[in-house]
Each structure stands twice: as structure tokens, then as C-alpha cells.
């Protein structure tokens, strides 16, 4: 079964091709298409299951509108939830068949049981009678189908999974197999392995299995790369091979690769009926709520018992008597005495019962992500399922006690579910929010969907701003669900905004196509942030996050931050004065690859891919841009004046590209590509071995080619050669891709037919290799840094002038221009070149090769992504948005907020309290003041003079300012020229700044940031203070 790699590109780096094919052959039965049901269906369809059948003959009610983004007020009481949603869900993925089951009611036991044929997973998302649930579960076990029962009831939720007695998990965690390089394998009994320490720990445990490849030494005993060996770990960098006696081997191994073998795991599950009475160890999702899973297990049993007696209906919002009845049932079932003398536990059960009909978007999104991934596990056998029950809640969002009936009574609107939980006043606050979403990718789309259902920015005073510079690509469609095929090449922000308004026509949203950075502060400046309630980041890089973080600090705005990496997700809520800001703690910078490693001593495929990508940029982009600069410049020599270190390389490249190697036909491009192959993968390697022979010894007596330095071999050109790891025709692929890239650069029509290439290549004359004497090759990073540009014998400027004089004049080539090619990981021709180039380099150095799919991920630095994780993190974020907006009768405290880290593959969910901001102590006006990064000394007295400014600090804070600065400009200091100081004191503060910086303020700038050094007038001690936020307009 063929996989659409363009569509599922980012998801394939999460699931893999084999798991994707299994999903594409699996059918899902979904019972219940309210808010949670439609979220789950959306995620499964985007992921690419074969078919999904919707079973829900119920008509929509107003509570459904809180979580179902395909329903509107006009649908209430009309048709069925399944029929209304079917066509819209089908639009999400052309490869997935979406149908509606012909069921008369959700109590029609026989009709529902008859649907469970050739179904990989049955998932139920609405309350059914317990007897029917038991029957469905039993039928699933008979038919070898996985069974999932999940509910969202207000801010509480439950998930139950039963995948049968012997469910095989092919990959329990989705992590790449551990890999390392051999430093030595001693011929002992048992054989003793040591890995290269500078590449990190081996990361394996006793009992793991490994394979070996490219091993040098041991008389070839480890040549079979498919044979598996069990290990016994003896340290972070060492292990033994169990039962392996290598004492007969002639010598130790000194180099090679080790790869962990991941083994399948078989899991056993309890049935729903059995697990209700004997749940075993319950999964924990919040370490501040150790006792919560057991309490919620009891509460949901009581709620089910209530529903069984009341036609599967849950209590009405605010029905205190019904809520009390649920609590009484819980007490009667409480064999563990969980409720005894526990008022908090009673309040939890009452809140759960009172809000049990509420279907709110954030909870549906969070559970839709979690359960969606469980369904994909059932279909693919990849990752570890939830074994039994998971309970998740966000009771911190709720008021401390039940609200009066008048505050929560339904209004027959989209917001009835939220009103039932939080009241009408809080709903109005949500409607009037003014938020800025930075990014309209996967997280941005999910967030907009949640906000449309919640009503964010949908009131008379509300507004949403969203910005994203990117356009929509096909690979976005598998997780950015607001986009369709017809939107490809359109701007993300505009399409996302349009789709959100379709869900809620009251949403006021303004899309932008601008980057949020210093260059766009004319657009996103003081006047813009001054009107905002908060900011939500949906970004894919740390630099942009840090910039937005600084803005939120300055304007004291809450910031909601989230990110995903495959099945892993994280959320961080940043609240002024309550939590630390995003930039307060950060990861160390990523290590770069040393230059000498890239140029001469690679030992990993990452090194060869980076080298290939760098070559692509230099050969097909930079060289063309240099030629165009030369042809478009009246005095090119002058423009090189500031490039003393690179000017010789630049003009040499221009001469090669414009004169020496300029093709006139496509045949010339093929010849060029063949000669490049010879130079890069044969001649350069032979020159390296001429400088550093295989038996070279360093000054300390050790072998030069040892450890991470792998002795290379020249590759001889062979059109039929196929690499054993990736199975690719790298020689042919390189010539075809390089020739076509070259032709494209010069505007020459290319071709790809193999017969034609073979014919032309027969006549290419390749000169014999002759080693060059006097060529210096850096043996390490220190020598690489010492290498100087230029030819050595000739002065840099002289050589430049000579080359420029030999070039044709720009006027002689009027109208001629090259086409620079910018590397794009999603263009197959680009990736074919980079993969072939990298693999040939890998073959030079005995490094295992990779196919185009894996190479694309590494060279393109692709972040694996799947819709389930994205939906979940946005759900978590929006739950914290409720808390920041504010619940009735409740003061927001740090412990109410939750940062999240999740790995849906394991599965692992942990929510924890954010860190409070660090405090600095200062004595101000004789009193101790503890200030944080959120604080500043705010002045809103208009554009006063410098003298008035200094006087204000003396009178208000008892401070003598000795120095005042703005950025790098000193505005005032005690040691400055007295006459100049007196002149400045008479000037307004804005005039002082502009007179020194020589820059006028943008019309939308309201504040000036000032730093000061000041002493207490009484003690004469320096006082450590935050910056001054001076409003001059």
C-alpha cells in the first residue's frame, strides 16, 4: 500500500512507514459525535486510518456546541450529529472513507453489536448504559477489536482502554534505537566493548540486544550486520557481549558502529467490567493530586450508576439535588473510605455531577489528542497503550463552590457548556478578550478552533490578531486542520482566520503576514500591545519565543507557550508577577559540528548531510548570487573591500561559474557533474590519504586514523553501484541531480532519462589523479582556524585584481543572469542531490548510508509532528486561559496554574506548578522592596524635562541619580560636562534622547526604557533597581 509521503511527511517521522501502512488498512467505529467524538474523528482522519464509521443518531443540543466545531446554533434539534458532521470530516483527508452507521438509537444493542465486524478499534465517547458497554466490550474481545470508552464531563474526564489479552506492541516508546561507535572490543571471554566517550553514553540496559556494522578488526567475526547480540551493561560507556568468547580473535576491534535492536512487547488488558471493580494501579497525571485518580474512579462509577437509573442522562447544570444523589451513590460504593470526613472530595464529586453535561472545547481537545493517539496505537501496534483507566481533570478552573442557578442557566447558545461551569459573567470576560496569536501553523489552527468555540474575541470589545509569514504546503494538511487542498500556496494566517470565522461568525479577527521582530515594531508597537489582554505563541523557534517573551514582560501580559515534538508536548503558562517568564530558564545552545570534522573527518551521517547541504548552498546558490552581483555592479572590486577573508574564494568562484565551467548545453552539465564526482569522492580522498597515509602515526605515537577519525577510501565511479544500507543508486543519482541543478541555474532544459545519461557518460574523459605537493590539510580544529585565505604565494589583492581583469565585462553579458537555487527540503530534486552527495561521502568513510526520507529529516531539521499531540497541548493551554481570565469567587494563585510535559507514546502525562519569578531585594524609601523581572519603575507624567525627572526621583523615592541611560546612550551622568548637563535639564526627555541618538521616535511608540544608577540620599548606598518605564505620549 503506497503512502502519500507529501501529505504525511511530518507524521511519518513519528509513526514510520510500516505503522502508517497498518493504520491505512484499519477501520474505526466511533460511537458518539459530540465535542469529544468529533475531535477524535478529526485526529484519526488526519492521521490516515482507512475508514471511520460514525454512530450517533442523536440530534444536537446546545451543550454539544461547546466542543463540536462542525455544529452551529441552527443545527440544534435538526438531523443527527453524525449526519451533520460526516461531509465536513470527510473533507479533511481524501484517503479516508467516512460513513454513518444506520442505527435507530444509542440504546439499540443488537444494531450496535452488528457493526463490530472487521473493526480495529471501537471508541465510545457518550454515556451508554453499563450493560450495553459490557456487551460492546465483550464483542470487541470476541472480534479481536480494541475497545476504548472515554467521557468529557465539564473539566473532568476519563479514558478506559482494553486491547485484549495479548496485544503486541512493535515499538514501546518510539525513540530511535540507541546507536554509538566502537572505541575498542577486546578479544576476551565475554567480549568487552567500549564506546567512544566523546559521542555520549551508550544508553542501553542489561538484556538489550545490539547489531554491529563496519567493524574493523576481530578477524571479521562481527561482519554479519544482521546478527543480534545480548549485552550486559557494565557502565555508561562499556558493556559485555553475553555468551561471546572472542579469545581466538587475532586482534581487538578499533572502529565500527553499534545499533540497538528494539524488541516487540506483549501487553495484557482487563475487560471494562473487571477493571471497574479491580482497576489496579491508576495512571497519575498531576503530582499535586496523588489521591485524585482513586477519587475520580469512585465518582465516575457513581455517575454511571445515576445515569443507568435515569435513561443514561447526567444531572442538569446546577441541579443540587441530583448532584447530592450522585454523592450519596458514591458513598454507598466507597469501600476504601475515600470520602470519610473529606469535604474537598465531596466538593469534587458535586462539581463533577453538576457540570457533567458540559462539553467544553479545551477538554475535548486535550482528551481528543490523548484518545486519538490510543486509537492509532490500536490500529498500528506502535507505542504503549494506556492499560486500564486514565482520569484527568482541571478543577482549578472552577469556582470554589457551586454557582447559583440563575448564573448558570442555559441560554440556548454555543456557550451554554461554559456558562454551566463558570457562570455568565466569566463568559462575558472571555468574549471581550483581546489576544495575539503568533503563528498560524498546527498549534495556531487548533488554538483558533478552541477560541471560536470558547468565544474568545467574539464580544463587542473583543478581538484576535494572528500573524504568520508562511504559505500553506501539502505537508501541512495532515495536522493543520483548518486548511484544505484548495488553500495550498495561500497565506496561513488569512486562511486560518477565515476558517475560524466560519465556526463562529461573531469572531473578530485580523490576519497579518508579518514576522514579529524588531523590524516590525512600527506595526506591533506600544499602541498595539497596549490594547491586548494576552499573547499566545505558536512558534517553531526559540529566538522568536524569546523576543515575544520580552514584549510580554515589558507590557505585563500573560503569555501561553506550547510546543510539540512528535508524541511529546509541553506547555508553559506565564502570568505577570505570578510566574517566571519564558526566558528566565533556557536550554543550552545546540552544539555545532567542528569545521575540520565536516571537511576531512566525518564519522556520522549527520556530518555528511551537513557537508552535502553546505556544498549545495555554495555551488547552486552562492556561486550564482556572486555572478549576479558581479554582473549587476559598476564597481565590483569596491564591494569586495569589506570581505578580505573571503574575496579570493568569491572571485575564483565567479571565474569558474562564469568562464571556466560555464555550460552551453545539457551535455556540458552532465560532464561537469561527472568530473565533480571524481573530484569530490575520489581525488580529494586520495589527496587526503597522500597527506595522511593509512599507517600515519602522531607525535605521541598513536595511530592518526583511530577513534573518531575514520580512514577513508576513494569511491570509483560505477553507475550500477547500490549502497547496502539505503539501497540507493548514489552514483547515478548524484550525476542526474547535479546535472539538472546545474542546468536549472543556467536556464538550460534538463532531463532525467537514465539511458541518455549512460550514453553521454561513456564519452566523458576523466583525467588521472596526480597528488599535489605542498597542500596543507588541517588535522584538527585548531589548525583549521589557523588556515589563512588566499593562495599563499600571491598577495590576496593582487590575485583578486588579476582574476577580475580576466573576466568578461558586465556590459559584454548584458541581460545574462543566473538563477540561484535555495535549498528546500520539500523539493525532491534538491533532496535527491543532498542524499546522494551525503551517501557517497559516507561510503568514503565507511559510515552507514540513509535513504531520502531519513536524510530529509536530518538535513532539513524537520520537527516530527502529529495532530494528536497538537490538539492536546492547545487543550491544556486553553484550560489555563480559563484560570487567567478568572473564575467567580476565586483568587488566582500560583498552585492553580499548570505547566505540562507529555509523551503520548509511553504514555506519560505530568502537570506541575510553574516556578515563581526570582526576586531582587532593594531598600527604597527606607523599606525593603522585593522586585522581579516583571517590575519596573513606571512614570506616567507626560513628556517632562530632565530636571523634572531627576527631581521626581529625589522627592518620590529619596534617590540621587548619578547616571541615566537609554540603550547605549548616556543621557545624564554626574561626571559629564556641567554646561551640557544644564542644557539637557531644560529639554524634554524625548528631546534629550533624540538629540543624542539622532533618531526620531516612531509615531506609535509610547514608552522610553531608561536604566539608572542611583544612591539612597540618606545612606548614600547604591540601590539596585529595575528599569524605568517612562510614558512620554
Closest CA to 150 of 39, 289, 247, 24: 39
Cell triple for residue 410?
442555559
Kindly state the cell numbers that stand for 876: 491544556
Q: Per DSSP, which regions of 18-74 are E strands?
A: 27-31, 51-55
**In whole angstroms, how large is the CA radius of gyration of the chain?**
34
> Using CA atoms in the order 372, 375, 377, 381, what is the torsion angle rounded to 10 degrees?
-160
According to DSSP, the residues that pair with 965 across neighbouring strands are 970, 1011
Report how far residue 33's alpha carbon sits from residue 81's, in angstroms, rounded to the nearest whole number: 6
CA 500 centroid distance within chain: 23
Instruction: Mention every residue, 6+ apart, whose C-beta is less than 8 A from residue 784.
Output: 594, 595, 596, 599, 778
Cα(377)–Cα(169) distance, integer angstroms = 8
How, if at all, do strands 927-931 and 920-924 pair? antiparallel
Q: Cell numbers of 315, please?
A: 444531572
- Residue of 421, 291, 285 lying closest to 356 (CA atoms): 421
Nearest to 560 by CA among 807, 135, 182, 881: 881
Q: Is 596 a catalytic residue?
A: yes
* DSSP conformation class of 814: T
- From the number of C-beta atoms within 10 Å of its C-beta (0-12, 13-18, 19+), residue 698 rates as exposed
Q: Kindly give the interhelix angle for 867-885 and 35-47, rounded to the nearest 10 degrees.
A: 150
User: Residues 237, 288: contact at Cβ < 8 Å?
Assistant: no
Q: What are phi and psi of 446, to 5 degrees?
A: -65, -40
Q: 711-722 burial, b for 16+ CB within 10 Å, e for fewer? A: bbbbbebeeeee
**Taking a C-beta distance cutoff of 8 angstroms, is the pair 313, 307 a contact?**
yes
Residue pair 652/874 in contact (Cβ under 8 Å)? The answer is no
Sort strands 156-162 and 146-153 into parallel, antiparallel or unpaired. antiparallel
Tally the residues of the chain.
1033
Q: Are 442 and 479 in contact (CB under 8 A)?
A: yes
Containing 218, the helix (H) or strand (E) segment is none
State the cell numbers at 231: 549485552
The 3-state DSSP class for residue 865 equals: coil
CB atoms within 10 A of CB 264: 10
Q: Which residue stretches of 779-898 are H helix?
A: 781-786, 796-806, 828-844, 852-859, 867-885
Q: Tell me whether strands 1028-1031 and 937-939 are parallel, antiparallel or unpaired.
A: parallel
Phi, psi of 964 (to 5 degrees): -135, 130
Contact indicator for 354, 143 with CB cutoff of 8 Å = no
DSSP string across 113-155: HHT-SS-SEEEE-S---HHHHHHHHHHHHHTT-EEEEEEEETT
Marked catalytic residue, from 180, 249, 596, 669: 596
Residue whose C-alpha is closest to residue 715's, from 865, 550, 887, 841: 841
Task: Write out the H or E segment, with its range, that includes residue 298.
Answer: helix 292-309
Is the distance from CB of 571 to CB of 873 less than 8 angstroms?
Answer: yes
Catalytic residue positions?
Answer: 596
Amino acid at each position: 500500500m503506497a503512502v502519500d509521503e507529501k501529505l504525511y511527511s511530518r507524521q511519518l517521522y513519528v509513526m514510520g512507514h510500516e505503522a502508517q501502512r497498518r493504520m491505512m488498512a484499519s477501520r474505526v467505529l466511533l460511537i458518539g459525535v459530540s465535542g469529544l467524538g468529533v475531535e477524535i474523528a478529526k485526529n484519526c482522519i488526519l492521521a490516515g486510518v482507512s475508514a471511520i464509521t460514525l454512530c450517533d443518531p442523536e440530534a444536537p443540543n446546545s451543550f454539544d456546541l461547546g466542543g463540536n466545531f462542525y455544529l452551529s446554533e441552527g443545527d440544534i434539534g435538526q438531523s443527527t450529529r453524525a449526519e451533520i458532521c460526516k461531509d465536513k470530516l470527510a473533507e479533511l483527508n481524501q484517503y479516508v472513507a467516512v460513513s454513518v452507521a444506520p442505527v435507530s438509537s444509542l440504546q439499540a444493542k443488537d444494531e450496535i453489536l452488528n457493526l463490530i465486524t472487521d473493526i480495529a478499534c471501537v471508541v465510545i465517547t457518550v454515556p451508554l448504559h453499563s450493560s450495553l458497554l459490557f456487551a460492546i466490550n465483550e464483542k470487541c474481545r470476541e472480534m479481536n477489536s480494541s475497545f476504548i470508552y472515554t467521557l468529557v464531563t465539564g473539566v473532568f474526564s476519563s479514558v478506559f482502554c482494553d486491547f485484549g489479552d495479548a496485544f503486541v506492541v512493535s515499538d514501546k516508546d518510539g525513540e530511535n534505537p540507541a546507536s554509538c561507535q566502537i572505541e575498542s572490543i577486546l578479544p576476551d571471554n565475554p567480549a568487552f566493548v567500549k564506546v567512544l566517550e566523546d559521542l555520549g553514553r551508550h544508553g542501553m540496559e542489561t538484556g538489550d540486544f545490539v547489531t554491529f556494522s563496519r567493524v574493523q578488526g576481530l578477524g571479521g567475526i562481527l561482519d554479519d550486520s544482521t546478527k543480534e547480540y545480548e549485552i550486559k551493561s557494565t557502565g555508561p560507556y562499556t558493556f559485555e557481549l553475553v555468551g561471546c568468547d572472542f579469545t581466538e580473535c587475532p586482534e581487538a576491534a578499533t572502529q565500527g558502529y553499534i545499533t540497538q535492536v528494539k524488541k516487540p512487547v506483549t501487553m495484557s488488558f482487563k475487560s471494562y467490567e473487571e477493571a471497574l471493580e479491580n482497576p489496579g494501579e491508576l495512571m497519575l497525571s498531576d503530582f499535586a493530586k496523588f489521591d485524585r485518580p482513586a477519587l475520580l474512579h469512585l465518582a465516575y462509577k457513581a455517575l454511571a450508576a445515576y445515569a443507568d437509573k435515569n435513561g443514561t442522562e447526567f444531572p442538569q447544570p446546577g441541579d443540587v439535588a441530583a448532584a447530592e444523589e450522585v454523592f450519596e451513590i458514591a458513598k454507598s460504593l466507597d469501600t476504601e473510605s475515600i470520602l470519610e470526613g473529606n469535604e474537598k472530595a465531596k466538593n469534587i464529586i458535586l462539581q463533577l455531577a453538576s457540570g457533567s453535561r458540559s462539553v467544553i472545547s479545551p477538554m475535548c481537545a486535550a482528551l481528543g489528542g490523548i484518545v486519538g493517539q490510543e486509537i492509532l496505537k490500536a490500529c498500528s501496534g506502535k507505542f504503549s497503550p494506556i492499560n486500564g483507566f486514565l482520569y484527568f481533570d482541571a478543577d482549578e478552573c472552577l469556582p470554589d463552590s457551586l454557582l447559583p442557578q440563575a448564573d448558570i442557566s442555559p441560554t440556548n447558545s454555543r456557550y451554554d457548556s461554559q456558562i454551566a461551569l463558570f457562570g455568565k459573567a466569566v463568559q462575558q470576560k472571555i468574549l471581550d478578550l483581546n489576544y495575539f496569536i503568533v503563528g498560524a501553523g498546527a498549534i495556531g489552527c487548533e488554538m483558533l478552533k478552541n477560541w471560536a468555540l470558547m468565544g474568545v474575541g467574539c464580544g463587542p470589545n473583543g478581538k484576535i490578531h494572528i500573524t504568520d509569514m508562511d504559505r500553506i504546503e501539502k505537508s501541512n494538511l495532515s495536522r493543520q486542520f483548518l486548511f484544505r487542498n484548495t488553500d495550498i500556496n495561500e497565506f496561513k494566517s488569512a486562511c486560518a482566520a477565515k476558517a475560524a470565522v466560519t465556526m463562529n461568525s461573531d469572531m473578530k479577527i485580523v490576519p497579518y503576514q508579518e514576522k514579529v521582530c524588531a523590524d516590525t515594531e512600527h506595526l506591533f508597537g506600544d499602541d498595539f500591545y497596549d490594547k491586548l489582554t494576552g499573547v499566545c505563541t505558536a512558534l517553531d523557534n526559540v529566538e522568536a519565543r524569546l523576543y515575544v517573551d520580552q514584549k510580554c514582560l515589558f507590557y505585563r501580559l500573560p503569555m501561553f507557550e506550547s510546543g510539540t515534538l512528535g508524541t511529546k508536548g509541553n506547555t508553559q503558562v506565564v502570568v505577570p508577577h505570578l510566574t517566571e517568564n519564558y526566558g528566565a530558564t533556557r536550554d543550552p545552545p545546540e552544539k555545532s559540528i567542528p569545521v575540520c570534522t565536516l571537511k576531512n573527518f566525518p564519522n556520522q551521517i549527520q556530518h555528511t548531510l551537513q557537508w552535502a547541504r553546505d556544498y549545495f548552498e555554495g555551488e547552486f546558490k552562492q556561486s550564482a548570487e556572486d555572478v549576479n552581483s558581479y554582473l549587476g555592479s559598476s564597481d565590483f572590486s569596491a564591494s569586495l573591500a569589506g570581505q578580505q577573508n573571503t574575496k579570493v574564494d568569491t572571485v575564483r568562484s565567479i571565474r569558474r561559474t562564469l568562464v571556466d565551467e560555464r555550460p552551453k548545453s545539457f551535455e556540458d552539465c552532465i560532464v561537469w557533474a561527472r568530473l565533480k564526482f571524481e573530484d569530490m569522492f575520489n581525488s580529494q580522498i586520495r589527496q587526503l590519504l597522500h597527506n595522511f597515509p593509512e599507517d600515519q602515526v602522531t607525535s605521541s605515537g598513536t595511530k592518526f586514523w583511530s577513534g573518531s577519525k575514520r580512514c577513508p577510501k576513494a569511491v570509483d565511479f560505477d553507475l550500477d553501484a547500490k549502497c547496502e544500507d539505503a539501497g540507493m543508486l548514489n552514483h547515478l543519482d548524484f550525476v542526474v541531480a547535479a546535472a539538472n541543478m546545474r542546468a536549472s541555474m543556467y536556464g538550460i532544459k534538463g532531463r532525467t532519462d537514465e539511458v541518455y545519461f549512460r550514453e553521454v557518460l561513456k564519452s566523458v574523459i576523466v583525467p588521472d589523479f596526480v597528488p599535489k605537493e605542498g597542500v596543507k590539510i588541517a588535522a584538527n580544529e585548531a589548525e583549521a582556524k589557523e588556515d589563512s585565505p588566499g593562495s599563499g604565494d600571491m598577495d590576496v589583492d593582487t590575485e583578486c585584481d588579476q582574476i577580475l581583469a580576466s573576466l568578461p565585462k558586465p556590459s559584454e553579458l548584458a541581460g545574462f543572469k543566473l538563477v540561484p537555487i535555495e535549498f528546500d527540503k520539500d523539493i525532491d530534486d534538491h533532496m535527491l542531490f543532498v542524499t546522494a552527495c551525503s551517501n557517497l561521502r559516507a561510503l568514503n568513510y565507511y559510515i552507514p548510508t540513509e535513504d531520502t526520507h531519513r536524510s530529509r529529516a536530518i538535513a532539513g531539521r524537520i520537527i516530527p509532528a502529529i495532530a494528536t499531540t497538537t490538539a492536546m497541548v492547545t487543550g491544556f493551554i486553553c484550560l489555563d486561559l480559563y484560570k487567567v481570565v478568572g473564575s467567580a469567587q476565586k483568587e488566582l494563585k500560583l498552585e492553580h496554574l499548570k505547566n505540562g510535559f507529555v509523551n503520548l507514546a509511553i504514555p506519560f502525562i505530568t502537570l506541575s506548578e510553574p516556578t515563581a519569578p526570582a526576586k531582587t531585594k532593594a531598600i527604597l524609601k527606607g523599606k525593603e522592596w522585593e522586585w522581579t523581572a516583571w517590575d519596573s519603575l513606571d512614570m506616567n507624567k507626560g513628556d517632562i524635562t530632565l530636571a523634572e525627572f531627576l527631581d521626581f526621583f529625589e522627592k518620590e523615592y529619596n534617590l540621587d541619580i548619578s547616571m541615566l541611560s537609554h540603550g547605549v546612550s548616556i543621557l545624564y551622568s554626574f561626571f559629564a560636562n556641567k554646561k551640557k548637563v544644564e542644557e539637557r535639564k531644560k529639554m524634554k526627555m524625548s528631546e534629550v534622547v533624540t538629540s543624542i541618538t539622532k533618531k526620531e521616535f516612531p509615531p506609535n511608540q509610547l514608552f522610553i526604557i531608561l536604566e539608572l544608577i542611583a544612591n539612597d540620599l540618606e545612606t548614600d548606598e547604591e540601590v539596585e533597581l529595575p528599569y524605568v518605564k517612562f510614558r512620554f505620549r
